[in-house]
Amino acid sequence: MDNFAANALQENMLSYEGFRHAVLEDYRIVVESRETSLLGRKEVLTGKAKFGIFGDGKEVAQVALSKFFQPGDFRSGYYRDQTWMFASGIGNIQQFFAQMYADPNMEHDPFSAGRQMVSHFATPNTDENGEWLNLTVQKNVAADMAPTAAQMPRSVGLAFASRLFRNSETLKPFTHLSNNGNEVCFCTIGDASTSEGHFWETVNAAGVMQIPLAIFVWDDGYGISVSKEKQTTKGSISTALKGLQKRPGTNGIDIYTVKGWDYAGMCEVFENGIHKIRETHTPAIFHVEELTQPQGHSTSGSHERYKSPERLQWERDWDCLKKMREWIIENNIATNNELVEIEIEAKKKVLQSRTNAWKEYIQPIKEQAAKVIKLVQAVTVNDIDTFNQLQTLAKQLQKHTEPLRKDVMKTMAAAVAVAKNYPGHSGLLDYYQQLKDLNRSLYNSCLYNEGPKAAVKIKAVQAEYGAGSTVVNGYEVLNKYFDLLLNNDARVVAFGEDVGLIGDVNQAFAGLQLKYGDNRVFDTGIRELTIMGQGIGLALRGLRPIAEIQYLDYVVYGLEPLTDDVASLHYRTNGLMSCPLIVRTRGHRLEGIWHSGSPMGMIINAVRGMYVCVPRNMVQAAGMYNTLLQGNDPAIVIESLNGYRLKEKLPSNLLDFRVPLGVPDILKEGEDVTLVSYGSVLRIIMDAAARLEKENISCEVIDVQTLLPFDMDHSIVHSLKKTNRIIFIDEDVPGGAAAFMFNKVMEEQQGYRYLDVAPRTITAKAHRPAYGSDGDYFSKPNAEEIYEAVLALMAE
């Protein structure tokens, strides 16, 4: 008998009965989860579900882990954690199957409303009004993602938040967000995914910062068909990480190794390890070895293709269910008959849960189909060909015993077209529109917040200037603004490369670390990926992070968590979670290939679900920060890199005025041509416009202010109605943001109706900007180019 069971037997019978009950309850969960995986695979292979990826082989490790996952803690996991979620009470088997069937009913799949594939869990962090929930009384789950290792960066922020809550006096009042920083972030990852850079950057950042991060590596020996010997140095991630092991007097991480079939051993190691993390904020890796894949990697292939017969036999012999079952019997915790009874009941429960989930999913679609068939058959026609077409459509839909919503919509669309001008057509058309509206809400809603905390609903407040308003450098505007902001809102923290000690490379935070402390304004390493992750995690936990990427060109390093996590979060959870991250960066015109980029087309197409603000000066930037901080939507604010030393008048209501999102600003009114742009190039446009005035050409210059959202009131078209001529000017490459603006105004806003001549775009060249002032001049739009383009336009 091992120490775990022996210690339990030394206590009184009541305690032993409690221990026995707990073990058998864990075994029940383990068996139910395995049955769920087995039946789930069958559902995919029979066509009821599209794809399946399951947690079979990891059940015992996860049920052991679940014992130490407490209210207030956060999980940042991946798509094989179903057993853990069942054991924690966050998800159940019927919900699992509902998600597998992509059921868009939030009551059936409360994690994503069918928008994510199976085993993607989430818990809410705000209520229906956008107010933060009491996160300390619930077990929290940051919405799962499928990209390998994508869960790693945000884990840094989720754990780092606990350090801030523990160490920052200004955060002590926020008791609904943290219990004095006692929360642990539990992060899980498959062994093969530890080869990703995300993993290494996360582990290094955690070791440097000393944050309560517990990383569990599920090691089943393979990354699909590639063995770990070809994935990891020395074939072992725990061995490869030994240089990071924390020693007395150093930072670093703790490293534990356990066997994934050893229930008792894992309980003991996890208990001690998590306790230490919670108390000391020392991060740790738990390398869970000797796991198996009873069904292979996923439903897309068979592991018999790449595993030897010997390996397959080993996996059967060392299956964690088999080993836990043997351990229970060997230690006289239960008899074989008792375990058989648990196993029989588990099969029944899983089967019933599957049946219930499928019925709830398919019934509404069948009802829609029945109504469509009835409406189609009710159309009165006096043409035999039309009659036959309608009857064929009805019969084809009737043949679908398990129709999809798209089958219903295709039939409706065809019937509406065929039945045109016949009695009954209006009924078809009305129901078709009803279904369109319903499906739009099911599949196309919640990209951004839609309630009171929607950033686009924040009303404008004009900047105010008194008689004694001073004129200062742009960076001084921001410095004064951030000073007021940090003093006013304890939830705001700012960080990034060189942000702390020197106050960022352009001095917007100069002196503010000294004033507010290094828990409010602080430096990071050169690690854009986990700077973004740090911001994501802090935002998910109710803080208001301003995460800086030093130059716009470097956004590429941190783009993956922004596009895969932040931008999709509100959508993929159907509004369940918000992440009010503000990414602060600077770009546009300067000098050199990697310090003057404007990759706006790339950014706006990668981060739909975030807002993209492009202020032309620092006063406008401050107003945008104010607006964003009133809402719960994430955003990127791109300050003009060459504007920090330009003079601006300082508003008297610096902390209170708000620039509305999606509302362009007319910088100069005109009658002859509309010039549309944003950011630094507006100064060049205004120079060209002044020269054109001397030619009796009146230019209307419009600053779009935000690219996402873009001109929500169609004010650019109002200008175009007056001028009948338009040029879109942009520092991005040809086909980048200029093409985006062109599409919005010409097609979406139907601006083409008001044109007298063909519209134009003026962009940067296709290559990166050459170094030096001449490189800037010839690589990006210049005043002469704009001047000549307007003259040519007016000559047509």
Do 51 and 117 contact (CB within 8 A), yes or no?
A: yes
Q: How many CB atoms lie within 10 A of CB 795?
A: 7
Rounded Cα–Cα distance for residues 343 and 334 (Å): 13
Residue type for 418, please? V
45: exposed, middle or buried (C-beta count within 10 Å: 0-12, 13-18, 19+)?
exposed
Q: Where do the DSSP E strands lie in 616-688?
A: 635-640, 647-649, 665-668, 673-677
DSSP-assigned letters across all residues of 76-97: E--TT-HHHHHHHTS--HHHHH
Cβ neighbours of residue 341 closer than 8 Å, sequence gap 6 or more: none
Pairing of strands 760-762, 582-587: unpaired
Cβ neighbours of residue 103 closer than 8 Å, sequence gap 6 or more: 109, 113, 114, 357, 360, 361
DSSP 303: G
Tokens, residue 291: 């796991």
DSSP 135: G
Sign of CA dihedral 275, 279, 280, 281: positive
CA nearest neighbour of 685 among 781, 586, 773, 795: 781
Sign of CA dihedral 328, 331, 336, 337: negative
Ramachandran class of 696: left when φ > 0, alpha when ψ lies in -120 to 50, beta otherwise: left
Do 412 and 431 contact (CB within 8 A), yes or no?
A: yes
711: exposed, middle or buried (C-beta count within 10 Å: 0-12, 13-18, 19+)?
buried
Q: How far is CA 592 from CA 27, 574, 776, in A?
A: 62, 42, 8
Residues recognised as catalytic: 595
Cα three-residue angle 745-750-753, rounded to 5 degrees: 115
Q: Which spans in 498-617 are helix H?
A: 512-516, 528-540, 559-561, 567-572, 600-606
- Quick check: bond before 709 cis, omega within 30? yes
Cβ neighbours of residue 779 closer than 8 Å, sequence gap 6 or more: 596, 764, 765, 767, 768, 769, 770
CA nearest neighbour of 288 among 211, 227, 214, 185: 214
